[in-house]
């Protein structure tokens, strides 16, 4: 892993995310509707999700044709270079469908399975978040830092909910039992933005069950490079079972409490 390769991957990710963000922001039709559903009738895909992923895949394919690709909406290629791109072309699709601003493009580059570059483009915030392994995390030209850890009972915690009724019911019960223990809970609708908000100090912590790798790959690197901690269940990395992010001092009690509350299962 050379600095030159990191620079190249970052440049590709930034440009791909910028182009996709502009497409989504400027090309959103007034009569936008649901193109398909995935895990449930409320887990929606719009025509713009599909168009953005095609744009990103085409851009990366032109510049790095030997790389692998994994996209939320089905783009997939094995690659031969050891580099794999993990893409969520529109994180926060329901927000986007309703005209809410909390959505983003998330692109991560992995080398031999390790995330080395992460970019989250949030056009409606007019912000671009980027991180490179070993080089820190940045919002535009400003270095990102998490908030100093408050007492746990003063932590502002972000979370999200899944799309199946059974999972959402379990997540709601966890939130019900967690909320008396912290300052408050926020549910914004984009995992990528929530993770970046922890790295920027806009949230003290974030957790969610049911994320896929394209939801958290870029944001996870951003949080860690900003100086906070990430993980899943105790001793494990982030995974679809559970993703947790917070600075030291909040991360440990939150992770332990989520384990006690069974936040990783129904």
Quote the pLDDT of residue 75: 83
pLDDT tens, residue by residue, 85-123: 999 999 999 999 899 999 999 999 999 999 999 999 999
Q: Which pLDDT value is given to residue 44?
A: 67
pTM: 0.95
Distance of alpha carbon 147 from alpha carbon 199, whole angstroms? 8
Contacts of 113 (CB under 8 A, 6+ apart): 84
pLDDT digits (tens, 9 = 90+) for 164-185: 888 999 999 999 999 999 999 9
- Ranges of the chain with pLDDT below 50: none
pLDDT, residue 4, reads: 96
CA 216 to CA 237: how far, in whole Å? 11
DSSP letter string over the chain?
A: --HHHHHHHHHHHHHHHHHHHHHHHHS--TT--EEEESSSTTSEEEHHHHHHHHHHHHHHHHH-TTSEEEETTS-EE--SSSEEEEEEEEE-HHHHHHT-S--EEEEEEEETTEEEEEEEEEGGGTEEEEEETTTEEEETTEE--PPPPPPGGG-EEE----SSHHHHHHHHHHHHHHGGGSSEEE--S-HHHHHHHHHHTS-SEEEESS--HHHHHHHHHHHHHHT-EEESSTTS---SS-EEEE-TTTHHHHHHHHHHHTTT--
For the domain spanning 152-261, the CATH number is: 3.40.190.80
pLDDT attached to residue 42: 59
What CATH number does the domain located at 3-143 have?
A: 3.30.540.10
Domain ranges, ordered by start, for the chain: 3-143, 152-261
């Amino acid at each position: 892993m050379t600095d030159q390769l990191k620079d190249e991957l970052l440049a590709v990710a930034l440009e791909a995310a910028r182009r996709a963000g502009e497409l989504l922001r400027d090309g959103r039709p007034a009569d936008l509707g649901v193109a398909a559903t995935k895990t449930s009738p409320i887990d929606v895909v719009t025509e713009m999700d599909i168009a953005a992923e095609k744009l990103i895949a085409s851009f990366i394919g032109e510049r790095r044709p030997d790389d692998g690709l994994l996209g939320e909406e089905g783009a997939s290629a094995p690659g031969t270079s050891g580099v794999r791109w993990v893409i969520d072309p529109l994180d926060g699709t329901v927000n986007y469908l309703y005209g809410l601003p909390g959505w983003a493009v998330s692109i991560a580059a992995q080398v031999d399975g390790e995330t080395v570059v992460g970019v989250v483009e949030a056009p409606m915030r007019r912000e671009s978040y980027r991180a490179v392994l070993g080089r820190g995390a940045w919002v535009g030209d400003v270095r990102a830092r998490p908030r100093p850890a408050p007492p746990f009972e003063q932590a502002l915690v972000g979370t999200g909910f899944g799309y199946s009724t059974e999972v959402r019911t379990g997540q709601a019960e966890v939130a019900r039992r967690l909320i008396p223990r912290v300052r408050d809970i926020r549910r914004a609708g984009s995992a990528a933005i929530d993770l970046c908000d922890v790295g920027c100090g806009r949230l003290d912590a974030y957790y969610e069950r049911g994320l896929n790798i394209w939801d958290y790959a870029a944001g996870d690197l951003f949080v860690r490079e900003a100086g906070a901690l990430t993980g899943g269940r105790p001793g494990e990395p982030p995974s679809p079972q559970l993703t947790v992010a917070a600075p030291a001092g909040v991360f440990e009690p939150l992770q332990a409490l989520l384990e006690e509350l069974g936040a990783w299962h129904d």
